[in-house]
């Protein structure tokens, strides 16, 4: 079940005030889904029009760290949110602690001050009183510290003894690691700036919590479905993240048909942490084990460097100038890239994943944050008991999904294949992808991933909306008549450079 943070003493939740539709038109109950186009990042505003009134829900608000003029763009987004909502958000949903999902709550403080937030939902993984959540946060902090130390080491290697000349790819490898870490709020440039990684994300989350005096609800998978606050005819099913540490650490699969690619295994990190002097605040290893983890070889086979270099042969061939290429002192630093990807994917797996059902039609909006394999795969074990009807399963929710917010900007491991997208069989299915492909390509990310995009095109009959595509121009592979019909039926609208939106009826 959901848990709620303690409320400040003497403060009560503000009463729910019904708002009239901003256009003044009397319309059938529907939800307007607005996807903002600030760049590579997520920000969605869902406006539920019901009984002639409006309720506004925002899901995430962020953009990739190195985005040009990011603060100005996020201020423009929040200014539009304020204008559209009249300055009141009935609910904010924060899916997970990544910069491209939360940065707006840090980068646009002036606009944030002018917004009232009545309710805040996030995942149980953010609950400060949840034991597993606390341990996971410690682990995430340890991983950030490990990668930060590794980058400092790599910067040092690149700057001494001609190492950069010996390995022309070293600079690019360092840059690639930093690009991945931008999701964590770590800067892409500048030696020694990785130590404070995550501080600004934490501040963004704190800013958000302070805006919601009613407190924060920490949601758990499988809990009783609940309505959007103040919106009858809605049911929200919490899918993830799972309360299973092993599942949260399951990031990839080497089996065909599970994802839209075949994965390679990630390197272990415990030894790297020990070697760098970074330890989990709640360790499971003994001090002796941690000491051994810091050594490159088992003590039975290793020879201390000081001892080895006293031997004439080793001194001649490994210690003399020009012989450094024979040594493997820094070879382990090559794992920095894999560890950075592991950290990024692990945080994605803690995403709050929701299925929002509209009655009486039963249409579903699938909003999974950036969930990956270990999150998605656990949904199939969930059952929701509904009074007077059969249990609800994820299979039923997939079959009724008419909007899929594509996870992690369409990355290779953000959408399950045979246990995910291929089960979304509703003829009205539309995909929304918050992706800037030019930016992603420049950063070295395959977003959207080709095979996944092809799968989405087939499932949706090319009904795909993206932040980097003008919905007024039909995509390849669809007739103009079909595209015009889709735009008309779903009332597709856009404001260039700011948002693209569509409507979905309740009935």
Integer-rounded Cα radius of gyration of the chain = 25
Burial letters 217-248, b for 16+ CB under 10 A, else e: bbbbbbbebbebbbbebbbbbbbbbbbbeebb
How far is the CA of 250 from the CAs of 157, 242, 302, 339, in angstroms? 32, 11, 33, 14
Query: Which of 133-147, 328-342, 359-373 is the most confident on average?
Result: 359-373
pLDDT given for residue 288 in this prediction: 55
Burial class (CB in 10 A: 0-12, 13-18, 19+), 329: exposed
| Averaged pLDDT of the chain | 83
Average pLDDT over residues 363-383: 97
Separation of alpha carbons 238 and 378, rounded Å? 12
Indicate if the pLDDT at residue 460 is higher than 80: yes
> 480: which residues sit within 8 A by CB, 6+ positions away?
474
pLDDT given for residue 268 in this prediction: 47
Identify which has the larger pLDDT, 81 or 297. 81
Burial letters 448-474, b for 16+ CB under 10 A, else e: bbeebbebbbebbebbbbbbbbebeeb
Average pLDDT over residues 328-355: 78
pLDDT given for residue 299 in this prediction: 59
Burial class (CB in 10 A: 0-12, 13-18, 19+), 55: buried
Q: What are phi and psi of 129, to 5 degrees?
A: -100, 0
pLDDT given for residue 190 in this prediction: 45
The percentage of the chain sitting over the pLDDT mark of 70, rounded to a whole number, equals 76
Q: Is the pTM of this model over 0.95?
A: no
**Contact (CB, 8 A) for 198 and 96:** no
290: helix, strand or coil: helix
The residue among 2, 489, 439, 15 whose CA lies nearest residue 236 is: 2
pLDDT tens track for 389-401: 889 999 999 999 9
Identify which has the larger pLDDT, 137 or 468. 468
Separation of alpha carbons 219 and 371, rounded Å? 15
pLDDT given for residue 6 in this prediction: 46
pLDDT tens track for 157-205: 665 444 444 455 667 777 777 888 788 876 544 443 433 445 688 888 8
Strands 53-59 and 30-36 come out as unpaired
Identify which has the larger pLDDT, 19 or 465. 465
Strands 363-367 and 216-219 come out as unpaired
At residue 16 the predicted structure's pLDDT band, cuts being 50, 70 and 90, is very low
- Domain at 3-130+203-260+344-505: CATH code: 3.60.15.10
How far is the CA of 121 from the CAs of 208, 247, 293, in angstroms? 11, 22, 40
**Contact (CB, 8 A) for 372 and 232:** no
Residue pointed to by tokens 């002018």: 114
Could you tell me the two tokens for 275?
Answer: 């070697």
pLDDT tens track for 44-61: 999 999 998 999 999 999
Average pLDDT over residues 265-284: 50
Identify which has the larger pLDDT, 198 or 410. 410
pLDDT given for residue 101 in this prediction: 96
CB count, 10 Å around CB of 132?
A: 14
pLDDT given for residue 301 in this prediction: 58
Average pLDDT over residues 231-237: 97
> 132: which residues sit within 8 A by CB, 6+ positions away?
243, 245
pLDDT tens track for 414-459: 999 999 999 999 999 999 999 999 999 988 899 999 999 999 999 9
At residue 62 the predicted structure's pLDDT band, cuts being 50, 70 and 90, is very high
Indicate if the pLDDT at residue 42 is higher than 80: yes
Q: Phi-psi category of 433—alpha, beta or left, where left has phi over 0 and alpha has psi -120 to 50?
A: beta
Q: What are phi and psi of 486, to 5 degrees?
A: -60, -45
Range(s) within the chain of domains with CATH label 3.60.15.10: 3-130+203-260+344-505
Query: Which of 122-136, 198-212, 253-267, 339-353 is the most confident on average?
Result: 122-136
pLDDT given for residue 11 in this prediction: 42
Separation of alpha carbons 116 and 87, rounded Å? 6
pLDDT tens track for 105-154: 999 999 999 999 999 999 999 999 999 999 988 888 887 777 777 777 77
Strands 493-495 and 499-505 come out as antiparallel
Q: What are phi and psi of 14, to 5 degrees?
A: -65, 145
Separation of alpha carbons 170 and 59, rounded Å? 38
The residue among 31, 30, 33, 52 whose CA lies nearest residue 43 is: 33
Q: Phi-psi category of 309—alpha, beta or left, where left has phi over 0 and alpha has psi -120 to 50?
A: alpha
Could you tell me the two tokens for 317?
Answer: 């061939």
pLDDT given for residue 161 in this prediction: 42
State the alpha helices, DSSP H only, in 60-98.
70-85
pLDDT given for residue 332 in this prediction: 58
381: helix, strand or coil: helix
Least confident of 242-256, 267-281, 331-345, 459-473: 267-281
| Axis-axis angle for helices 336-349, 131-159 (nearest 10) | 150
């Amino acid at each position: 079940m959901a848990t709620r943070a303690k409320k400040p003493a003497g403060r009560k939740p503000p009463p729910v005030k019904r708002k009239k539709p901003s256009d003044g038109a009397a319309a059938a109950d529907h939800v307007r889904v607005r996807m903002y186009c600030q760049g590579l990042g997520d920000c969605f505003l869902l406006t539920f029009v019901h009984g002639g009134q409006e309720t506004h829900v925002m899901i995430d608000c962020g953009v990739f760290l190195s985005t040009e003029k990011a603060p100005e763009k996020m201020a423009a987004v929040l200014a539009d949110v304020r204008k559209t909502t009249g300055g009141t958000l009935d609910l904010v949903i924060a899916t997970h602690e990544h910069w491209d999902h939360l940065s707006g709550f840090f980068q646009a403080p002036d606009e944030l001050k002018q917004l009232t937030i009545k309710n805040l939902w996030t995942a149980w993984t953010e609950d400060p009183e949840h034991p597993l959540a606390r341990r996971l946060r410690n682990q995430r902090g340890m991983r950030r510290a490990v990668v930060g130390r590794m980058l400092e080491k790599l910067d040092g290697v690149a700057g001494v003894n001609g190492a950069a000349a010996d390995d022309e790819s070293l600079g690019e490898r360092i840059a690639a690691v930093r690009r991945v870490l931008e999701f964590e709020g770590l800067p892409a440039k500048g030696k020694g700036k990785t130590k404070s990684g995550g501080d600004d994300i934490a501040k963004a989350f704190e800013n958000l919590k302070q805006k919601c005096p009613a407190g924060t609800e920490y949601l758990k998978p499988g809990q009783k479905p609940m309505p959007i606050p103040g919106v009858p005819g809605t049911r929200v099913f919490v899918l993830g993240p799972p309360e299973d540490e092993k599942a949260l650490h399951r990031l990839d699969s080497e089996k065909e048909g599970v994802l839209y690619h075949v994965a390679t295994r990630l390197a272990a990190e415990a030894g790297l942490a020990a070697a760098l002097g970074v330890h989990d605040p709640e360790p499971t290893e003994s001090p002796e084990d941690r000491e051994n983890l810091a050594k490159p070889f088992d003590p039975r086979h290793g020879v201390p460097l000081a001892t080895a270099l006293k031997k004439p042969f080793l001194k001649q061939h490994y210690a003399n100038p020009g012989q450094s290429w024979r040594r493997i002192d820094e070879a382990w630093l090559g794992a920095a890239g894999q560890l950075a990807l592991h950290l990024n994917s692990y945080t994605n797996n803690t995403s709050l994943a929701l299925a929002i059902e509209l009655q009486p039609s039963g249409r579903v909006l699938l909003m999974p944050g950036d969930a990956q394999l270990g999150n998605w795969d656990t949904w199939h074990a969930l059952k929701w008991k509904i009074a007077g009807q059969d249990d609800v399963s994820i299979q039923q929710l997939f079959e009724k999904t008419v909007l899929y917010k594509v996870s992690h900007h369409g990355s290779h491991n953000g959408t399950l294949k045979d246990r995910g997208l291929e089960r979304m069989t509703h003829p009205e299915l539309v995909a929304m992808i918050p992706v800037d492909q030019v930016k992603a390509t420049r950063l070295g990310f395959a977003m959207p991933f080709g095979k996944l995009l092809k799968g989405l095109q087939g499932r949706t009959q090319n009904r795909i909306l993206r932040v980097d595509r003008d919905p007024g121009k039909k995509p390849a592979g669809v007739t103009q008549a079909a595209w015009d019909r889709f735009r008309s039926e779903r009332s597709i609208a856009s404001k260039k450079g700011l948002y693209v939106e569509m409507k979905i009826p309740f009935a």
